[in-house]
């Protein structure tokens, strides 16, 4: 029983590794950015709030 289970696990792992290698090779074909733009968005919002506070309270 243990030998059969080992063979089944090896077969499943082999298929998964093959699929993973196939996906890694195809990764270059999809031009999705690896950078998350949420950080840029929140920095933009915070800078705008800081600029508003500066112009509204400090400049006059």
- What long-range pairs does 7-14 form, CB within 8 A, spacing at least 24? none
pLDDT value at position 17? 78
Quote the CA–CA distance of 11 and 24 in Å, as a whole number: 20
Q: Where are the domains of the chain?
A: 2-58
Quote the CA–CA distance of 1 and 8 in Å, as a whole number: 11
The pTM score is 0.42
The string of pLDDT tens digits covering residues 20-56 is: 777 666 555 666 667 788 889 999 999 999 999 999 9
Quote the CA–CA distance of 25 and 17 in Å, as a whole number: 12
- What long-range pairs does 27-36 form, CB within 8 A, spacing at least 24? none
Token pair of 58, please?
């400090």
């Amino acid at each position: 029983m243990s030998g059969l289970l080992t063979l089944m696990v090896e077969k499943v792992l082999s298929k998964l590794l093959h699929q993973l290698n196939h996906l890694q090779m195809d990764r270059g074909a999809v031009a999705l950015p690896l950078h998350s733009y949420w950080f840029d968005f929140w920095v933009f919002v915070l800078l705008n709030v800081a600029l508003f506070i500066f112009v509204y309270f400090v400049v006059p």
